[in-house]
Amino acid sequence: MPRVGFVSLGCPKALVDSERILTQLRGEGYQVADRYDGADLVIVNTCGFIDAAREESLEAIGEALAENGRVIVTGCLGVHEQLIRDAHPRVLAVTGPHDYEAVMAQVHAHLPPVAAHAGEARVPVEGVRLTPRHYAYLKVSEGCNHKCSFCIIPQMRGRLASRPLPEVLEEAERLVATGVRELLVISQDTSAYGVDRRFEPVFHNGRPLQTRFQDLVAALSELGVWVRLHYVYPYPHVDQVIPQMGIGGLLPYLDVPLQHGSPRILKAMRRPAATENTLERIQRWRDTCPELTLRSTFITGFPGETDEDFEMLLEFLEAAQLDRVGCFTYSAVAGAAANALPDHVPAELAAERQEILMHAQQAISAARLRGKIGSEIEVLVDEVEPDRAIARGPGDAPEIDGQVFVETFEDLKPGDRVRVRVSGSSEHDLFAETI
């Protein structure tokens, strides 16, 4: 049986691409090798978002070439074929992001499937997944219609292309049927879901729906599992899903990448919803759903960011009282419009501002977690140790947020949902006991 090694780099969206390619490979009778030297060729799914990710991708390609020698490159860095070929002239082929057919065509060309095996291979009903069994990423669209000046994703992944709603819901149902207890909805702009399909009316299980964000969220929330929304922009129509949070499976959680608090910088960044009054909107969301956890990311050192802009960002954070915050320093990405902007901020100053921001935010995050002590929440168990379970609550997305450490003598297993009482907190995590 032909054997393919697979290296998956990058964000959850790239992970979903990897899962699709692996599912296709298994379906066609390929075996997935877990070592370079056991593989007939290696696919490297790359990330090209920032320079550090490009470096990591180029290194991974180099390693695969050194260890195996037969390498197909795919993913976001694939749009820069010349860059890859200049660094690694021996790669067999280069294809771009979410171009499953092109990757498979290259695999067929360099390692033909053995006809007798095609279709015989056992592919799990839910496809091949790279996340633990009890949670899964659900990618609802590809590409993006925005033109943020620091980002080249629209160039790499194209304009917004929402998947048909019945297809998304069928995938979600399949995942739930195979034991998934939490669906993490991802895309580049989840709030824009369906815009490109002009909210096309569809039927799913005999029920009329519109291809739009609100219907997607409502239908997913009825599946009996947790539903967590990522990459949602503060548009007015998002207000409509807030009252559903905490009812059914929809978690009171929103990942809203805001990137800055200074209107001048947001305009230079050409951010979606830059003109919305975000603080007012956040307040309204919290009035409707007090237990809402808000996560966001910010950039320090964007070209032209003055001390005054940075002060505004800190004031914004103080006023917004976000629960979870990530912060990156601005990094020039080849091909991004922001590179041409004047007044680039020295890297040391951007790093200094990042540290100040994270320090200020730590106090906010810690205080918000402290406020949960004494409350009862439901958690989803990720891992079990002899005298405790490592779980996550509604406010904790896997990998990027905190955890809930549960002291328990109950016989728990990964994927269990249990109610706990919060007994303590730290900067990022909660401590709890089963009730």
User: Which parts of this chain interact with ligand SF4 (CB under 6 A)?
Assistant: 144, 146-148, 151, 153-154, 188-189, 272
Least distance to ligand SF4, CB of residue 333, Å? 10
Nearer to ligand SF4, 154 or 424 (CB): 154
User: How does DSSP classify residue 145?
Assistant: S
Sign of the dihedral defined by the CA atoms of residues 198, 294, 397, 412, in that order: negative
Least distance to ligand SF4, CB of residue 414, Å? 32
Q: Find residue 300's DSSP bridge partners.
A: 329
User: How does DSSP classify residue 35?
Assistant: S
Least distance to ligand SF4, CB of residue 305, Å? 17
Least distance to ligand SF4, CB of residue 396, Å? 23
Nearer to ligand SF4, 133 or 146 (CB): 146
Nearer to ligand SF4, 28 or 142 (CB): 142
46-60 residues labelled b (16+ CB within 10 A) or e (exposed): bbbbbeebbebbbeb
SS3 of the chain: helix, strand, coil, percent, to 5: 35, 25, 40
Least distance to ligand SF4, CB of residue 138, Å? 18
Q: Concatenated DSSP letters for 240-270?
A: GGGGGTTSTTEEEEEE---B-S-HHHHHHHT
CB 366 within 8 Å of CB 426: yes
Nearer to ligand SF4, 160 or 172 (CB): 160
Nearer to ligand SF4, 31 or 145 (CB): 145
Nearer to ligand SF4, 23 or 149 (CB): 149
Least distance to ligand SF4, CB of residue 153, Å? 4
CB 327 within 8 Å of CB 400: no
Nearer to ligand SF4, 272 or 395 (CB): 272
Please tell me the distance from the alpha carbon of residue 57 to that of residue 84, in angstroms, as a whole number. 9
Q: CA-based angle 339:303:255, to the nearest 5?
A: 95
Least distance to ligand SF4, CB of residue 254, Å? 15
The residue whose two tokens read 């629960």 is 323
Sheet holding 226-229, edge to edge: 135-139, 182-186, 226-229, 250-255, 293-300, 324-329
Nearer to ligand SF4, 189 or 323 (CB): 189
Nearer to ligand SF4, 144 or 345 (CB): 144
Least distance to ligand SF4, CB of residue 245, Å? 23
What are the tokens at 125?
A: 């009903």
Q: Find residue 42's DSSP bridge partners.
A: 5, 71
Least distance to ligand SF4, CB of residue 197, Å? 18
Find how far residue 49's CA is from the centre of its chain. 13
